[in-house]
Structure 1
Amino acid sequence: MIVYGIPNCNTVKKARVWLDENGFSPEFHDFKKKGITAEKLSEWCEVFGWEVVLNKKGTTWKKLSPEVQQNVIDQKTAVEVLLQNNSAIKRPVVEVDGRAVLISFSEEQYSAALK
């Protein structure tokens, strides 16, 4: 299991605590330090949809220029923006056996998917 995110994100913290408390010991991939690939982002977009992977509610998205925001019209353009602004990725993303299974954090979703 791999948890992708950034360590100071409250949602990532909640997910990691839940995983630890429920007996999981995931590897943590800090995409601020380790980066993220276009291939990985595309995989996640295939699973969750690019509109979900791109966090439009976050500060990073809101700080982007209107021109940049308006140019995000599909998966390809979303991935391009996310590569340049990885704090705009919805997080955390949890992969099990190399497959993305969860995005963001909800105790109910984690329980259903992982127990």
Structure 2
Amino acid sequence: DNKLLVNHNEMLKIYKEIAGAKSYFRKKDFMKPTPFINAYRKAGKRADVVFIDEGHLLLTAPDPYNNFRDTNQLTDILQLARLVVLVFDFHQLVKLKSFWT
């Protein structure tokens, strides 16, 4: 059970289009972080591998607009996966609700 998480709607759309064209990818394996956290927590499941693209966009504060009520998406994802691969760009501008030190 492997997932690729990405925060950008346009990137998610592109990943799902690629998945639709390749038999070895499944569209359901591409998600946004909050739906992944909520679904896996509700089901009591753990993913084997979670690859996070644009990891600097993970939330570090509650965001009711995005249906995220906890304080750190990375912490939540680490609890819901056996292995996490995080792609993180320290040079990209981040939002206040995505503040990393």
Query: What is the TM-score when the length of structure 2 is the normalising length?
Result: 0.36
Structure with the larger RCO, 1 or 2 (CA within 8 Å, 6+ apart): 1
Query: What is the TM-score when the length of structure 1 is the normalising length?
Result: 0.33
Of structures 1 and 2, the larger Rg is shown by: 1
